[in-house]
């Protein structure tokens, strides 16, 4: 991963965009990491991975709930009672 100061990032933005196509670039401000610039392809891959991971988590929870007797009707009743 490459690191660059916020000042340099402003001054060399076009080069920074090119660099991000090869590897993530961390932007630092006052010795703190404040942002990471990644390619659009890497960003899409990360978002897709997160969505798939979340879906697997939801599927596991649904399976456990069904094994314990949870049904759509019971869930609707629980949610209706919580809002009352």
Indicate the DSSP class of residue 2. E
- If one counts every other C-beta atom within 10 angstroms of the C-beta of residue 28, the result is 16
34 phi/psi in degrees, rounded to 5: -115, -20
Indicate the DSSP class of residue 1. -
DSSP 19-78: HHTTS-EEEEETTEEEEEE--HHHHHHHHHHHHHHHHHHHHHHHHHHHHTT--HHHHHHH
Per-residue pLDDT tens for 38-47? 999 999 999 9
Per-residue pLDDT tens for 9-51? 999 999 999 999 999 999 999 999 999 999 999 999 999 999 9
pTM of the model: 0.62
- If one counts every other C-beta atom within 10 angstroms of the C-beta of residue 9, the result is 19
């Amino acid at each position: 991963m490459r690191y660059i100061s916020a000042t340099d990032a402003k001054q060399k933005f076009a080069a920074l965009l090119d660099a991000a196509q090869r590897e993530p670039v961390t932007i630092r401000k006052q010795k703190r990491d404040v942002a990471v610039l990644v390619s659009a392809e890497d960003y899409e891959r990360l978002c897709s991975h997160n969505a798939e991971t979340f879906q697997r988590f939801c599927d596991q929870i649904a399976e456990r709930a069904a094994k314990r007797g949870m049904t759509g009707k019971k869930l609707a009743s629980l949610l209706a009672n919580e809002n009352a």
